[in-house]
Amino acid sequence: MPAKNIEELVSLCKRRGFIFQSNEIYGGLQGLYDYGPLGVELKNNIKSSWWKSMVYDRDDIEGLDASILSKQDVLRYSGHEETFTDPLVDCKKCKSRWRADHLEQDKCPKCGSDDLTEPRPFNLMFKTNIGPIDDGSSFAYLRPETAQQIFINFKNVIDSTSKSIPFGIAQIGKAFRNEITLKSFIFRVREFEQMELEYFVEPGQDEKQHEYWLKQRLDWWEAQGVPKDKLELYEVPKKELSHYSKRTVDIMYNFPHGLEELEGVANRTDFDLGSHSKNQNELNISSKVRDNKDSNSKLAIKEPHMDNWVVPFVIEPSAGVDRAVLAIMNEAYREEKLEDSSRIVLSLRPHLSPIKAAVIPLKKNNDEMVELAKKIKSQLQELGLGRVILENTGNIGKSYRRHDEIGTPLCVTVDFESLENSDITVRDRDTMKQERIEIKDLNAYFLKYF
């Protein structure tokens, strides 16, 4: 049973150290959040799981980690300078600003007035200055999507890896958008992370590959604890498609505030590689691209079976890390009635749990017990499964509740018997069942479990 409302998740995130308001001690900064000790682990685990499925489990995808600051040329030829806008309206009465396409009945959501300005395009890209001279000529954009840096590195990757199509380039990294209206905690923010794959295919193979990637992505979400029956596919209508897209299907999830986009899977055609290419007239580019006089690279391929240079088509699954955190936490959240109390449990898939196990000595001041617990903690940490902690609070019940709430799948308790018999108790988060295991068998138990 997911959370009843977003407040339950916000409260858990703050209380246990997953997510904090950014710049909080100075009054906060809207649309920005900081990931705390547990949030950073969860986020890293989600990213690792995506990277593993995209890069390590396959041989046709390479990774990239490119710069966030982008030259104006990149975002001019990509079409973002011209089209990456939202319609902005001002309320003449209370002076607030809104996205025109998010208004209900054309009324100001703050004061209810219908005295609004005509919508005007507002570009969402952040600008900054590069170097010591701020004369307006040396500005750079903070990238609004990670994708463009993948396109402009296409030739570098091809030349250094000898890849042939179909093949992909994967990247995880920050993106920035000066959103007019923010939404629902970390759902729509101004600084966020994306996990993007640009998969390059031969023209004509694009529609089949689009279907293939949609299926792959649904399978991946299911393996992260967001089952397919909680996801819906939304065929983006032609008139709402981004300037580069031939077809986009959004993977929608029922967030606590409603059904919204979790990931987009787009067919970007040959638009981006074609746009960033030199000698465009030698290439058979099917998209309408701006004349490029600045690029020094031909972003096309010619393989032995090809008569001419070909600009590959691109299939792009693009998922937001922050939205993934929200959806995965929401699916894992449940409140359970016990005989005489209740508990909150975060039933995260073990590979995503911020803490894999807590080792708890029954008595906080018993040196022998604490020493043994420390030894077991190090032994389990060495397995490389993720973070294992020593929880020396002396209050076993409270420790179990805390670890249920933050999604720790296993708790290992060291007690008096452990000192005599070299065994410990392992408690399972979901079933609350406890079993006695010999310390010598613990590594094998953990390796099997994870």
The residue ranges that bind ligand GAP (CB under 6 A) are 145, 147, 177, 179, 188-189, 192, 194, 196, 261-264, 316, 318-320, 322-323
Q: Which is nearer to ligand GAP, 145 or 270 (CB)?
A: 145
Q: Specify burial of residue 355 (Cβ count, 10 A radius: 0-12, 13-18, 19+).
A: buried
Shortest separation between residue 244's beta carbon and ligand GAP, angstroms: 9
Residue of minimal CB distance from ligand GAP? 320
Would you say 66 and 218 are in contact if contact means Cβ atoms under 8 Å apart? no
Only one residue has tokens 């939205």, namely 323
Q: Which is nearer to ligand GAP, 179 or 222 (CB)?
A: 179
| Closest C-alpha to 412, from 403, 421, 420 | 403
Q: Which is nearer to ligand GAP, 149 or 413 (CB)?
A: 149
Q: Which is nearer to ligand GAP, 40 or 385 (CB)?
A: 40
Q: Which is nearer to ligand GAP, 71 or 99 (CB)?
A: 99
Shortest separation between residue 174's beta carbon and ligand GAP, angstroms: 11
Shortest separation between residue 398's beta carbon and ligand GAP, angstroms: 35
b/e map 266-300, b = 16+ CB within 10 Å: bbbbbbbbbbbbeebeebebebebeebeebebbbb
Which residues are CB-contacts of 312 (< 8 A; sequence separation ≥ 6)? 165, 200, 201, 202, 203, 270, 273, 300, 301
SS3 341: coil
Shortest separation between residue 402's beta carbon and ligand GAP, angstroms: 29
Shortest separation between residue 30's beta carbon and ligand GAP, angstroms: 12
Q: How far is CA 280 from the centre of its chain?
A: 35
Own/partner pairs, 98-103, CB within 8 angstroms, 24+ separation: 98/180, 98/181, 99/180, 99/181, 102/181
Q: Which is nearer to ligand GAP, 21 or 379 (CB)?
A: 21
How many beta carbons lie within 10 A of that of residue 338, not counting itself? 8
Shortest separation between residue 129's beta carbon and ligand GAP, angstroms: 23
Q: Which is nearer to ligand GAP, 145 or 331 (CB)?
A: 145
Shortest separation between residue 62's beta carbon and ligand GAP, angstroms: 18
